[in-house]
Amino acid sequence: MRSGGPAIGFQTVTSQLYADSSLTMGFVYTDEAIQQSAQFPTVAVENGLNKNPQMIMWDPATYPQVKTIADLGKTSATVKFFSGAAFMSYFTSAGILNKAQTDGSYDGTPVSFVAANGAAAERGFGSAEPYIYQNELKQWGKPVAYDYLNDAGWNSYAQSLAVTADHLSALAPCLKLLVPIIQQASVDFSPTRHRRTISFGISSSGTTTAGSTAQESPRTQRTR
């Protein structure tokens, strides 16, 4: 198990799968798979989410008039995201957000959001940051408002487990056994029993991605 994002210098999972043959599979979003298909073709073999949990969040006290991502485009709010994200190219080209207000310096931590004191918006997960920022992040400690990328028009499968196209045939016997296990694990998942294991994995991996020891929220269940 290996961390992505800041831990690998924001290199794509698809490129890592081709650079390191010891990696069997990785989380690949549909948009990334399409972007990288010419150079690094991948094949998704499992997806455990019905809805992409990625969202953009903002401070409702600073922007009480904002209810959607499109509303953010009518403000002066800086919107922070991981550089190179395909969804942001879509939002700016469609006129949903203004390119001038976007900032690709987001590093997966809450530091810049807190430092902006409500002036900036930020990409995150509806299943994580809203709860964490309100209940576990002492530097913030209040609600955030958010809108899912999916509901703003960006529809993609999130966190699909994918393998490189040239390894698919060789891995087929293994995947035939492994994929049903992963699917069953999604059904059997219990936040009460498994959250400590997940938290340990996050803390020991060196990732900057927000993780919570709290029980799974209803909004998380709705995206599964």
**Structural domain boundaries in the chain:** 5-49+158-186, 54-152
In the CATH hierarchy, which fold is given to the domain comprising 54-152? D-Maltodextrin-Binding Protein; domain 2 (3.40.190)
Mean pLDDT by 10 residues, the chain (224 residues): 69 90 92 92 92 96 98 97 90 97 93 96 95 96 97 91 96 97 88 70 60 49 47
φ, ψ for residue 172, nearest 5 deg: -50, -45
Give the pLDDT confidence score for residue 76 in this predicted structure. Answer: 95
Tell me the torsion sign for CA atoms 114, 116, 121, 123.
Answer: negative
Alpha-carbon gap, residue 160 to 28, rounded angstroms: 5
φ, ψ for residue 144, nearest 5 deg: -120, 155
Give the pLDDT confidence score for residue 196 in this predicted structure. Answer: 72
Give the pLDDT confidence score for residue 6 in this predicted structure. Answer: 66
Give the pLDDT confidence score for residue 48 in this predicted structure. Answer: 85
Give the pLDDT confidence score for residue 84 in this predicted structure. Answer: 82
Continuous H helices in the chain: 13-19, 30-35, 69-72, 86-93, 111-115, 129-135, 168-188, 191-205, 218-223
The two structure tokens encoding residue 166: 């040239």
Give the pLDDT confidence score for residue 222 in this predicted structure. Answer: 46
Give the pLDDT confidence score for residue 113 in this predicted structure. Answer: 97
